[in-house]
Homo-oligomer: A and B are copies of this chain.
Amino acid sequence: VGARAIAHGLAKPSGLVTCLPELSPLPLIGFDQLVFGGWDVSSAGLLHRARDMATDDRALGAGLVAAVEDDLRAIDLRIRPGFARGGGPATQSLASRAVRRRRETLEAAAQRLGDDLDRFREEQRLSNVVVVNLASTEPVIALGPEHASIDSFRRLIHNDRVTQVAPSTLYAYAALDRGYPYVNFTPSAGVSLPALQELGHKNQVPFYGKDGKTGETLMKTVLAPLFRYRNLEVLSWEGFNILGGGDGRVLADPNHKQSKLRSKSGVLQSALGYNPHTGVSIEYVPSLGNWKTAWDYVHFRGFLGTKMSVQFIWQGCDSILAAPLALDLIRLTEYAARINESGPMRHLACFFKDPMDVKIQSFTEQFSLLLDYVDTHARRVPR
């Protein structure tokens, strides 16, 4: 909705990092040049979901959805059945009957997904295709030596080891194998497997992840430096998240929740330099729909041992927070690919809860990495 609304001049670029003046030196692709397609395990379709967001969640203007209705219908025609085997019980429950019934091997699926990408590129006459994982969070899979090299990972696919090849890793494989850049906006495994990074390097494509930083964790990485630089010891940092919607329903399943909690919990250790008592909980509250409320209680020790606290309450609409960042990542990844960069895009750390190959967790310091990238390229690249 947003990309098409901006392309039509119907919406302002609020929430888009790539539209900040600081990023204007980069010749990023225009919103009107982007063509959307994808896979979905559900058969609901974008238009249906957009209307729900307008009517039930009051998170979008109903008029705006109506204005891009034709665009959404066109995109819905380009959305192909997703792959859900091994994606966990909650994902299965969201999947259409057709997707659930399909008995496709991992090898067949990898082939099909790759072919979908090639066909999409050809049919739409695209210079490149960027794959972004925006699917529901999968359960954690145990990593073993067979995830360490692309050769052994290919054997897992060949032998249809469905408990060792999560869907997110199969999509990532399909993209990277055909030479398409890949970004993982979710806490699922995706390109975090060494095997897939090897593949990305080999095929010289850019990739990155994982877990888009949109709300509570963003707040954490913004606030933590206050305690760090004022020498205030954080004793406890307890976070409680409540949300509804499809995302909430999936995360209500303990198997799926585990992945999310892992990527959320790592940030404090890095940002503070020690591990305070900490807890993060996520509860499914259907009435909230797409709106998430997070309450965080931070207990800290000040001068002479006196304990004090700060609490925050974050009330945001998850899709509205995530969508512009996904567009930012598409634009920045397309640019990196266009100028033949490859490997992990460390300058994108500020977008992620668990940024690949970057230890810095302070948000403003992560943002400096992006500014440095702009500086370097502003000088290098003719516009």
Contact = CB atoms under 8 A, between A and B. Distances in A.
Interface of A: 1-2, 5, 11-17, 19-20, 55, 58-64, 218-219, 222-223, 225-226, 229-233, 235-236, 238, 240, 242, 277, 279, 281, 283, 285-288, 293, 295, 297, 299, 301-317, 320-321, 323-324, 350, 362-365, 367
A64 B350 CA distance: 42
12 contacts: A17-B230, A20-B229, A219-B226, A222-B225, A222-B226, A235-B287, A236-B285, A242-B297, A277-B287, A303-B324, A311-B312, A312-B312
Nearest to A227: B222
A5 B64 CA distance: 25
Contacts of A285: 236, 238, 277, 279, 297, 299
Nearest to A311: B313
Given A17-B229, A235-B287, A295-B297, A11 B304 contact: yes
A140 to B, nearest CB: 21
A15 B230 contact: yes
A203 to B, nearest CB: 32
A138 B118 CA distance: 62
B231 A15 contact: yes
A306 B317 contact: yes
Contact of A63 (B55, B238, B279, B323): B55
Given A60-B304, A281-B281, A304-B60, A229 B311 contact: no
A321 B242 CA distance: 25
B1 A304 contact: yes
B316 A308 contact: yes
